Amino acid sequence: MSTRRILTNLTENGAQAVNAFHPEIVNEVVQNIESNKVLVVGMAYNPHCSGVCKALTAAGVEFKYLEYGSYFSMWNQRLAIKMFTGWPTFPQVFVNGALLGGEADTVKELNSGSLFDGLKKK
């Protein structure tokens, strides 16, 4: 049994409500996923967001960073992003058009994976 079955089984009203929830933010994220090999979507004051940016920089990976609010602002805009990606926290890191995950997933991949091969400065 899929635990996400509601996401693929929306009524027309439900789908319209989801699509109308901060589409300008979701569209901006989508455009940046498509136009940047590595995209970090984050929020201010979140140590996982600064941490993942530091880890990517130390590894010589170029990336674009988009920031939406902080612990004190833009909750709804961040919720729209979470509803779109299905990822519950920030940062959200995208590589070559696909969601990789958060800071922990990115650091693990930088240390022992091959996803960033070819994206590191020589």
Between 46 and 96, name the residue whose CB sits nearer to ligand GSH.
46
CB of 78 to ligand GSH, least distance (A): 5
Least distance (Å) between residue 49 CB and ligand GSH: 8
In the complex, the smallest distance separating the C-beta of residue 48 from ligand GSH, rounded to whole angstroms, is 4
Q: Which residues, other chains included, contact 87 with Cβ-Cβ below 8 Å and sequence gap of 6+?
A: 99, 101, 102
Positions touching ligand GSH (CB under 6 A) are 46, 48, 78, 89-91, 102-104
Compute the distance between CA of residue 93 and CA of residue 53 in angstroms, rounded to an integer. Answer: 10
Q: Is 48 helix (H, G, I), strand (E, B) or coil?
A: helix
Q: Min. distance of Cβ 68 from ligand GSH in angstroms?
A: 9
Q: For ligand GSH, which residue has the nearest CB?
A: 102
Supply the DSSP string of 30-45, one letter for each residue: HHHHHH-SEEEEE-TT
By C-beta, is 33 or 80 nearer to ligand GSH? 80
Angle of helix 75-85 versus helix 23-35 axis, rounded to 10 = 60
From CA 77, how far away is CA 84, in angstroms rounded? 11
Nearer to ligand GSH, 26 or 91 (CB): 91
